[in-house]
Homo-oligomer: A and B are copies of this chain.
Amino acid sequence: MKKIYYGAAYYPELWDMNIVEEDIPLMRDTGINTVRMGEFAWSRMEPREGEIDLSFFVKIIRKLKDNGIDTVFCTPTPTPPIWMSHNHPERMHVDQDGILMSHGARQHICTNNGYFRERVRIIVEAICKEIAPLDGVIAWQIDNEFKCHVAECYCSHCRVLWHEWLKKKYETIENLNRLWGADIWSEAYLDFDQVPQPLATPFMHNSSLSTSYKLFSRETTSEFAAMQAGIIHKYSKAPVTHNTMRSFAVDNSQLFSSLDFASFDDYPDCDNYHEMLFNYSIWRNVFDKPFWVMETSPSHNGCLDGRWMSKTHRPGYLAVEALAAVASGAEGFSHWLWRQQRAGCEQIHGSVISSWGKPTIGYEEVKKTKAVFNKIESIIADTVPVKGQAAVTYSDYASVFLSVENVGSPGYSQLSREIYDTFVAAGIRAEFLMEHVDPVSCKFLMTPYMPAIRDEYLQKAIRFVENGGIWLVGPMTGYRTCEHTVHTDAGLGRLDELAGVTTEIVFPSNGAEIVLSSMGMEAGAAYYTALFAPKTAESKGFVIDGIGKGLSFLTEHSLGKGKIVLLGAQPDGRRGRTMLQAIVKHYAQEAGIKESCKTSDGTVSIVRKNDSEKFIFFINMDGKGGKFFVEKGFVDAFTGNSISAGWNELAVYGFAVVKSCTPAIL
């Protein structure tokens, strides 16, 4: 990594040029060295169909570069201009209630619309021709936060594409009927044209239909991204990304397959700092290269709707949030936004400069952050993050299944966060790997909440096990086919055989009277539970009372050099969380993984290294001050003074970087 890009979203198209002239010295004062631009500026670039003029942005990019500020340039496709939408209801996005979107806000046109796609091709190509050659354009962002406001579109053009997608996938309607079990409730179709979009119906749609429509929609979004990336790649060597988020209606594995690096947006308040750390553990693993925090607030979130206002960061927080990002592998850290919106619907949102040109709450925090970046930049440039050897699969495909059938759970996003918290509590550093990432460098892999396992993933996991890994499968994994039906061969399909068990019963266990016992602990079972009769497997957790008494919920089975551990139940409640931590820790340790560095709660450790040195960043994230523990042999990375072995103190939002050159510790 060459340098730390510290940035902000910038909308010069909304301001007079004299304001831009004011902004640049303020940016220099704060130390911001990058801006992101263009993502909502389509009407400025092409005020009337075909009248494209990018000279304004060319001028701004040059002026910024003259002042040492680089640019991430974006395609403006989330906000098609009025000339595209006015009097064209057939182009508009239609939501699940069948409601047609009006012009306004963002994402109001269906991204699958043919005319829209054509105009996108034209504007993106025009941008590439003019902007790509400019000095200072270091990266590209496609669109902005795909599907952050909308999910699947139900317009009539999407219906046509849907039927084509189905025909391509299933070939004959008989196949579809059979695989979806569409004889149920006389749903069976005589022709692909008859398959409905899952709009309002008296009760629920068939799960296969609902899941397929979501997969179809995600695929078209990925394809739309690939189309844009394809154009940019023709004209530019700068890498392409998209600013995504866990909660959007996209498949990130698929989406990033045509892109070059990962970036994300998130806006947790300062008390929810683990949300940011969780994100770092996901996005640094999408590619084997640095990621960007493309948007986060310098102070607080906010828009016209007061329910979405967040509390303002405590002074001192921003710098450690950013430090943790960069230490974890971020190359860029960018704020939303530079100058407060004076109009629109996000006037309340935190910024660096107010609409009237004054430093805001965040201004000094940004300067503090820059000072931290300056202090650590050489260490960062010279090292790479040391990743954990425990992996957890993070799957947007699984997320679709749990959105169609949540079996009483709070949904994939929250469940995943709880798994992250479980690893933190267990003291094990976990990497969250998108489904396409091979866990080849890990020793322990957990696959929770994946109702349907695709064959490609299963093969990867089997290889992982055969090569010596421990694979913890569950909870709530494998009980559905990829068509979102129930297996008819065995309770968990192929998993039964692989894990050496017979799945006896699968049932909803919220509120059920059942006692699980494992790791010397007892707990109830939440959500949806599978219980096993071990065949060649060994049981490590039993039901000791209630439904399924005597059956197993946790089993081990050797395969090649490794082991498949099947976890059929989600241990419930406070006692359940402790049991799950114990299970995770037990198998991580069995796989040879050590605990992370010791710190007090609210303080975290992040490790980096180069060929000869190891650096540990200890950072107080909770604003209460904290402690960290080091063995002998570490020195302060800045002063070279040696650090006392044992516990050391950190100030409120303080941090320490310690270094070891001892090969043994390294």
Give complex CA distance A98, B210 in Å.
23
Cα-based distance from A14 to B44 in the complex (angstroms): 58
Contacts of A104 in B (CB 8 A): 185, 187, 196, 198, 201, 205-206, 209
Q: A101-B201, A103-B196, A512-B311 are in contact. Are A186 and B358 (CB under 8 A)?
A: no
Residue of B nearest to A304 (CB): B405
In the assembled complex, how far is the CB of residue A309 from the closest CB belonging to chain B, in whole angstroms? 4
A310 to B509, CA, bound (A): 9
In the bound assembly, the distance between CA atoms of A40 and B357 in angstroms comes to: 56
The majority secondary structure among interface residues of chain A is: loop
Q: In the docked arrangement, what's the CA distance between A186 and B48, Å?
A: 11
Interface residue A299 (Cβ < 8 Å from any Cβ of B): yes
Query: B201 to A300, Cβ gap below 8 A?
Result: no
Q: Is the CB of B486 within 8 A of A347?
A: yes
Contact of A186 with B41 in the complex, beta carbons under 8 Å: yes
A342 contacts which chain B residues (CB < 8 A)? 181, 485-488
Contact of A80 among B186, B505, B509 (CB under 8 A): B186
Q: Which residues of B contact A347 (CB under 8 A)?
A: 207, 405, 480, 485-486
Chain A 90-132, CB within 8 Å of chain B: the 1/0 string?
0001010111111111111000000000000000000000000
* Separation of A13 and B187 alpha carbons in the complex (Å): 12
With contacts A107-B202, A485-B342 known, is A512 near B312, CB below 8 A? yes
Please tell me if the beta carbons of A100 and B207 are within 8 angstroms of each other in the complex.
Answer: no
Q: How close is A528's CB to chain B, nearest CB, in angstroms?
A: 7
Asked if A375 CB lies within 8 Å of chain B CBs, one says: no
In the bound assembly, the distance between CA atoms of A361 and B505 in angstroms comes to 7
Q: How far is the CB of A513 from chain B (nearest CB, A)?
A: 6
Max chain B C-beta neighbours (<10 A), residue from A104, A189, A206, A210: A104
Q: Does A83 contact B (CB under 8 A)?
A: yes
Q: A82-B194, A181-B343, A345-B207 are in contact. Are A200 and B101 (CB under 8 A)?
A: yes
Copies held by the complex: 3
Bound together, the chains give a CA A355 to CA B98 distance in angstroms of 35
Instruction: Say which residue of B186, B194, B204, B343 sits within 8 Å of A184 (CB atoms).
Output: B343
Report whether A361 and B547 are in contact in the complex, using a CB–CB cutoff of 8 Å. yes
Chain B residue contacts of A170, Cβ below 8 A: none
Interface bits A147-180 vs B (CB < 8 Å: 1, else 0): 0011000000000000000000000000000001
How many residues of chain A have a CB within 8 Å of chain B? Answer: 123
Residue of B nearest to A149 (CB): B202
A341 interfacial contact with B, CB 8 Å: yes
A508 within 8 A of B: yes
In the complex, which residues 277-332 of chain A have their Cβ closer than 8 Å to any Cβ of chain B?
A: 299-300, 302-307, 309-312, 314-315
Which of chain B's residues have a CB closer than 8 A to the CB of A149?
Answer: 202-203
> Given A202-B150, A344-B185, A347-B405 in contact, is the A311-B43 Cβ separation under 8 Å?
no
Residues on the B chain within 8 Å of A343, using CB: 180-182, 184, 206-208, 483, 485-486
In the complex, A50 has a CB within 8 A of chain B: no
Q: What are the residues of chain B within 8 A of A546 when measuring CB–CB?
A: 314-315
B-chain residues with CB within 8 Å of residue A48 when the two chains form the complex:
190
- Cβ of A491 under 8 Å from chain B: yes
| A-B pairs, 6 with minimum CB distance | A181-B343, A43-B186, A311-B511, A149-B202, A306-B408, A105-B203
